[in-house]
A = this chain, B = another copy of it.
Amino acid sequence: MKDKIAIPKTTIERLPLYYRCLSKLDRLDVEVISSKELGDRIGVPSTQVRKDLSYYGEFGRRGVGYEVKSLLRQLERILGLDSYWPIVLIGAGNLGRALVNYEGFRRLGLEIKAVLDTDLNKIGNRISNIEVESFKNLDEIVIKHKIQMGIIAVPAVFAQEVADQLVNVGVKAIWNFAPTRIVIPDEVKVKNEDLSVGIVGLVYHLARLD
């Protein structure tokens, strides 16, 4: 096991892919898998799989491969999915509703505990089994549920204001879906999930097809 050597960002980004693939293999009762097979399913070479995992320990058996259940547990620990991370979502619009019901989250053991909005027409509505509450109650809700992660799903113009408030009440990680850059202290982690960036990449490709 290596230590003190910086782990490449790209490695960290691949870990959830390994995790998801192994979950699926486990559900199919596959017991052992080689770095070659695992890599093929994800679209990376076997050396990359081995190198990525080697940053965290030695999880395989030479001449054999990786035991699916055991590697899955290791990745769960590495990714932090063995702990409980309640989430607050700001914005009860279409996107907010979609995220509450997103199948990918439950699979990871992640749960949106509260949905907040400023729109009086939305407060009190139910999304799935969660009642939309007033954004004014952010502080007490974050304390009550011991929340450290917030999702911003509001129009771009409000995103910075919401981000500031989240930081104020002590949230440590923000997932921002508004198509705008938010400015945040360094100690808070932000992931900008900007959907327009993705589609522009596809258009770029289409525009160059012939």
Residues on A facing B (Cβ under 8 Å): 12-13, 15-17, 19-20, 41-43, 78-81, 83, 85, 93-95, 97-105, 107-108, 110, 148-149, 155-156, 172-175, 179, 181, 189, 191, 193-209
Contact residues in B for A179 (Cβ distance below 8 Å): 20, 103-104, 107
A79 near B207: Cβ-Cβ < 8 Å: yes
Whether the pair B191, A198 counts as a contact (CB closer than 8 A) is yes
Chain B residues, CB < 8 A from A103: 155-156, 179
Q: Of the candidates B108, B189, B203, which one forms a contact with A79 in the assembled complex, judged by CB atoms under 8 Å apart?
A: B203
Number of copies: 2
In the complex with contacts A98-B93, A196-B20, A198-B193, A207-B104 CB distance below 8 A = no
Task: Kindly state the separation between the CA atoms of A22 and B161 in the bound complex, as whole angstroms.
Answer: 22
The 8 closest A-B pairs by CB, nearest first: A80-B207, A104-B196, A94-B98, A16-B200, A95-B98, A104-B179, A173-B202, A189-B205
Neighbouring B residues of A99 by C-beta, 8 Å: 195
Q: Chain B nearest CB: distance from A52 CB in Å? A: 13
Contacts of A20 in B (CB 8 A): 179, 196
The answer, among B43, B83, B95, B156, for a CB contact under 8 Å with A207, is: B83
Nearest CB in chain B: distance from A194 CB, A? 7
Give the complex CA separation of A148 and B193 in angstroms.
Answer: 24
In the complex, chain B residues whose CB is within 8 Å of the CB of A98: 93-95, 97-98
How many Å lie between the Cα of A198 and that of B196 in the bound state?
16
Q: 15 additional contacts, CB 8 Å, given A15-B204, A175-B198?
A: A12-B201, A16-B194, A80-B203, A93-B101, A95-B102, A105-B199, A108-B200, A108-B203, A149-B202, A172-B205, A172-B206, A189-B202, A191-B201, A193-B195, A193-B198
**Nearest CB of chain B from residue A70's CB, rounded to whole Å:** 19
Contact A16 B201 (CB under 8 A): yes
A208 contacts across to B, CB distance below 8 A: 80
Residue among A95, A100, A149 with the most chain B CB within 10 A?
A95
